[in-house]
Structure 1
Amino acid sequence: MDLDDTQCYRAVRAHDSRFDGRFFVGVRTTRIYCRPVCTARTPLKHNCRFFPSAAAAEVQGFRPCLRCRPELAPGYAVVDANQRLARSAANLIEDGRLQDANLAELARTLDVTDRHLRRVFQQEFGVSPVEYAQTQRLLLAKRLLTDTDLTVLDVAMASGFASLRRFNDLFRTRYRMTPGELRRTTPSREPTGRLTFDLAFRPPYDWEAMLAFLGRRAIAGVEQIDGRRYRRTMRVAGAGGKEATGWIEVAPSPRRSALRIHASASLAGAVPTVLARAKCLFDLACHPDQVAAALGPLGEAHPGLRLAGSVDGFEIAVRAILGQQVTVAAATTIAGRFARAFGTAIVTPFAGLDHVFPRAGEIAVLEPGDIAKHGVIAARARAIIALAKAIDSGALRLDPAAPVEATLAALEALPGIGPWTAHYIAMRALAWPDAFPHPDVAVIKAIGEKPRAALAASEQWRPWRAYAVLHLWKSLEKKP
């Protein structure tokens, strides 16, 4: 956003949650920076400086507020091309990609030059990608010191620092206190065998609708709903590319406007990736006010609907293929058989949550008959194997940083994947807010037009057509 001082200060005085995470305010007299929603005494306007990112504030010598905790601010969802590129790079950085790679490799992942990436990133966040990454590591360490019982050494390693000495020196220089001094300001914690984090969002958030959406599509053994809690297994890459498996449990936080994430201790070495995947899965970077403005009357009945993302693009793509021309319930049943047949068994504290979804590489070596015998039509089995080979070879990426148009084209070039499947995958695995799976029977029914007219009608909801799809699906639930 363009940082207009008057608008920003008005948001700070009102503690306006719509601007949480969109900018940060630094106070010249205290050299502390805060979120717009901070409950501390509002500083005088002439003492305020406004920054597009936490990293920009820290580079100018401000340290994070211990009350509002800038590391808890929700992310920034964008659809403009350059903004999306910068946000994609930021997502990869938050996912820990710069721990094991350099900027040139990150730029290649995004299919741009490192010079262009630096320019776009600087314009969006006010700092270089490397400076942004350093701040993200420090803020993650601050969160782990505050919210977990991990040792300082484990915190340093989990945050991506190569040595404890480097971590201590940088923490002291940037925050004017040592990690041990920060920990002494927080309540002591009993070891629990799990990690706990609060992830903020901008209200409203329709948690019941999100649970209903995920619950209808929950893959047996991999996901489950228990009351108002969502649970799933995860397999993620941690520092140094080391794989970690475990589970997460998610429910509304007792704190205002946040989801509380419990994660197994086995995922401690991959915390950046776990949190990044959770943010994507639950669409925590959404700006409901922007979506509502674009959807108009369509969005009025359910203003808090969010776009369910993914923690594993391959899993979502397989699920989409299995869902072709069958009911949601039938696809869910088949997906459960697929996960149990080819996934990896793990132990969790939750009965029935006992498998991790298979890797693309494990499916790429199969024959269509291996999959078909579990109730999958032969054509779809071939499509799944072709998809797995494309992902395993690196020819196809399915994550929010992947280029949308190129990925859609690559998906539709695979056997058995048409526009509907490709856009559904983009909607969830790529977190693309303008995806429009067409022709979707339910969408066409809800709009009340023929397919071509329904597609034309969708133009009014750009660039948030994926959210329009959610509202159209939701509208049919009320009808017999």
Structure 2
Amino acid sequence: MELDFERCYRAVDSRDQRFDGWFYTGVTSTGIYCRPSCPATTPKRQNVRFFPSAAAAQTAGLRACRRCRPDAAPGSPQWDVRADVVGRAMRLIADGVVDRDGIPGLAARLGYTERHLHRMLRAEMGAGPLALARAQRAQTARTLIETTGLGMAEIAFAAGFGSVRQFNDTVREVYGRAPSELRTACGRSVAPGGAGTITLRLAYRPPLHARALLDFLALRALPGVEEVRDGTYRRGLRLPHGPGEAALTPADGHVSATLRLTDMRDLAPAVARCRRLLDLDADPTAVDGTLAADPALAGAVAAEPGIRLPRSVDGFEMAVRAVVGQQVSVRSARTTLTRLLTHLRPPAPAPGPGGVEQEVRAPGDRSREPEPLDPPAEGAGSAEGAERAGRLRGFPTAEEVLGVPDEVFGMPAGRRETLRALAGAVADGSLDLAPGGDREETVRRLLALPGIGPWTAGYVAMRALGDPDVLLPTDLAVRRGAAALGVPADPRTLDTYADRWRPWRSYAVIRLWRAA
């Protein structure tokens, strides 16, 4: 990936926070790499190199700055939205695929040979998949060192290292300090919450319209899976090594995340999924700049800057929601899904100390959008309408949905069979709804399923796959919002008009829903 030196240097000289995560500044005279916004004195031009990733800077022999913590910068919006192989690979690496399945597993998921994948990542990221995964392990290890009381051996294996020696060597190389020195230097006590609980900050690029995010999620909250209460969104998670729970509270400059994990190896995947859910790696300046160029949207953008695209932690869950919500209101869809969940979900066990259901295991233990016009059902998003925090669980798996008797679905037979076909395709691996899936191929396979048309496939692409450029012109609420803003509401005319919103039409859809 080519980085324009002059543009990057100007960003560093002005300490522009908008470029944090886009690139990293390496200073050869000190052997340190920083964020563009690092408050340290601007280095001399002859001593500066720019890198597209933290892993590339580490591969060049540089260690992370102790002042600006570049390894904790927001993720690059470029890799977040790109649909090519490199963008897909970055999302899978962030989700921990390399730690779980190795480079062969990553290459197989992407459909390329290991050699060709390595070549592509080196060309774009300045580092191969092992180095990229290693940089993530180092950041996970630092988080565990500074926020938990786990022993160093436990942290080493939880972060994905193959040995304690590898863990020690990597931490020293990346941060210039031994793990024990990092724990001493952090100068703060472990956050309370019990075994398996971690509290950390998820950075984002301002502005962030937190109310819009919470409103959207509260309207669709499913009891027992998620809730919005007192400015915090909570939900259950299905993670690679066991169940978990996340509590996310937007704050100034960051989102406070409290994660309750069955297995600490799931920290990196949990963080990646929470960031994806709240769209924290977006570049709101670029999005709002494009949409505000249209006079019809300029007022809405000025009034509510930083509107994000709420995504998902589970692609299958989002696909089920899309199918159930075809041509019905949000309230009706939520009622149907709640009935289905009640059948599938046994009573939750009483939480243990600190609200955690299980202690941490050692690693060796083995075509219309539901109209966003109805208010939430009585009690939804409140303590009475949802299970309390610590009792929330992830959405059922495809295999569980396949085992549901016909009478439990509570929907027309055609829609029920669509759900069965969807669950069957996910269960047998013919449909990949993970963030690293090929978007075009996924949409093609969705459209091949009975009962799934362009609206449903587009909704899944937008929220499950994170496609930033989806328009739903036949959506009733989108058309109502368009009419409210003085935009053509006829589907064909709207489709043509929306070309001016590319490549951010998904964000325009969110704004049109709010305008409705």
Cα-to-partner distance string for 1:378-436 (whole Å, 9 max, x where unaligned): 22221111111110110111122111111111111112211101110111110111122
Structure 2 counterpart of 1:341: 343
Please say if 1:286 is aligned against 2:282. Answer: yes
Residue aligned with 1:102, SS: helix
Alpha-carbon distance change, 344 to 358 in structure 1, aligned in 2, over 3 angstroms: farther
Of 396, 400, 414, 1:362 maps to 400
| Mapped partners of 1:79, 1:91: distance in 2 | 8
RMSD: 2.1
Of 206, 221, 224, 1:221 maps to 224
Aligned partner letter, 2:454? P
Of 204, 211, 235, 1:201 maps to 204
Residue aligned with 1:185, SS: helix
Structure 1 counterpart of 2:318: 316
Cα deviation for residue 83 of structure 1 reads: 6.7
Of 231, 243, 260, 1:245 maps to 243
Structure 2 counterpart of 1:434: 469
Cα deviation for residue 292 of structure 1 reads: 2.1
Alpha-carbon distance change, 79 to 46 in structure 1, aligned in 2, over 3 angstroms: closer
Stretch of structure 1 that moved more, 437-446 or 282-291: 437-446
Structure 2 counterpart of 1:452: 492
Pairs within 5 Å for 1:401-416 = 401-416=436-451
Q: Percent identity?
A: 41
| Mapped partners of 2:5, 2:166: distance in 1 | 36
| Mapped partners of 1:81, 1:40: distance in 2 | 31
Pairs within 5 Å for 1:295-306 = 295=291, 296-297=293-294, 298=297, 299-306=301-308
Alpha-carbon distance change, 312 to 216 in structure 1, aligned in 2, over 3 angstroms: same
Stretch of structure 1 that moved more, 417-426 or 183-192: 183-192
| Mapped partners of 2:221, 2:471: distance in 1 | 22
Residue aligned with 2:233, SS: strand
Cα-to-partner distance string for 1:134-154 (whole Å, 9 max, x where unaligned): 111112212221233332122
| Mapped partners of 2:28, 2:36: distance in 1 | 15
Please say if 1:421 is aligned against 2:456. Answer: yes
Alpha-carbon distance change, 345 to 131 in structure 1, aligned in 2, over 3 angstroms: farther
Query: Is the CA contact (8 Å cut-off) linking 2:159 and 2:264 kept in structure 1?
Result: no
| Mapped partners of 1:70, 1:323: distance in 2 | 41
Structure 1 counterpart of 2:51: 51
Residue aligned with 1:100, SS: helix
| Mapped partners of 2:100, 2:24: distance in 1 | 29
| Mapped partners of 1:55, 1:272: distance in 2 | 16
Alpha-carbon distance change, 456 to 74 in structure 1, aligned in 2, over 3 angstroms: same
| Mapped partners of 1:52, 1:246: distance in 2 | 32
Query: Is the CA contact (8 Å cut-off) linking 2:51 and 2:126 kept in structure 1?
Result: yes
Stretch of structure 1 that moved more, 26-35 or 57-66: 26-35
Structure 1 counterpart of 2:111: 111
Please say if 1:231 is aligned against 2:266. Answer: no
Query: Is the CA contact (8 Å cut-off) linking 1:83 and 1:124 kept in structure 2?
Result: no
Residue aligned with 1:160, SS: coil
Alpha-carbon distance change, 38 to 79 in structure 1, aligned in 2, over 3 angstroms: closer
Pairs within 5 Å for 1:55-204 = 55-78=55-78, 84-190=84-190, 191-193=192-194, 194-204=197-207
Query: Is the CA contact (8 Å cut-off) linking 2:88 and 2:438 kept in structure 1?
Result: no
Query: Is the CA contact (8 Å cut-off) linking 2:22 and 2:77 kept in structure 1?
Result: no
| Mapped partners of 1:149, 1:136: distance in 2 | 20
Q: Which runs of 5+ in 2 are unaligned?
A: 356-382
Q: Select the structure with the greater relative contact order (CA < 8 A; seq sep ≥ 6).
A: 2
Structure 2 counterpart of 1:240: none
Instruction: State the TM-score, normalizing by the size of structure 2.
Output: 0.85
| Mapped partners of 2:242, 2:60: distance in 1 | 36
Residue aligned with 2:262, SS: helix
Cα deviation for residue 73 of structure 1 reads: 1.0
Query: Is the CA contact (8 Å cut-off) linking 1:201 and 1:258 kept in structure 2?
Result: yes
Please say if 1:466 is aligned against 2:467. Answer: no
Cα deviation for residue 276 of structure 1 reads: 0.8
Alpha-carbon distance change, 409 to 344 in structure 1, aligned in 2, over 3 angstroms: farther
Alpha-carbon distance change, 344 to 61 in structure 1, aligned in 2, over 3 angstroms: farther
Aligned partner letter, 1:208? R
Cα deviation for residue 27 of structure 1 reads: 1.9
| Mapped partners of 1:356, 1:288: distance in 2 | 29
Alpha-carbon distance change, 268 to 113 in structure 1, aligned in 2, over 3 angstroms: same
| Mapped partners of 2:502, 2:233: distance in 1 | 30
Structure 1 counterpart of 2:327: 325
Cα deviation for residue 80 of structure 1 reads: 11
Cα deviation for residue 306 of structure 1 reads: 0.4
Cα-to-partner distance string for 1:79-111 (whole Å, 9 max, x where unaligned): 899774212211111211111323233122123
| Mapped partners of 1:166, 1:88: distance in 2 | 27
Cα deviation for residue 301 of structure 1 reads: 3.7
Structure 1 counterpart of 2:260: 264
Aligned partner letter, 1:247? E
Alpha-carbon distance change, 252 to 27 in structure 1, aligned in 2, over 3 angstroms: same
Instruction: State the TM-score, normalizing by the size of structure 1.
Output: 0.92
Q: Which runs of 5+ in 1 are unaligned?
A: 238-242
Aligned partner letter, 1:340? T
Query: Is the CA contact (8 Å cut-off) linking 1:360 and 1:389 kept in structure 2?
Result: yes
| Mapped partners of 1:118, 1:158: distance in 2 | 25
Query: Is the CA contact (8 Å cut-off) linking 2:107 and 2:113 kept in structure 1?
Result: yes
Query: Is the CA contact (8 Å cut-off) linking 1:345 and 1:356 kept in structure 2?
Result: no
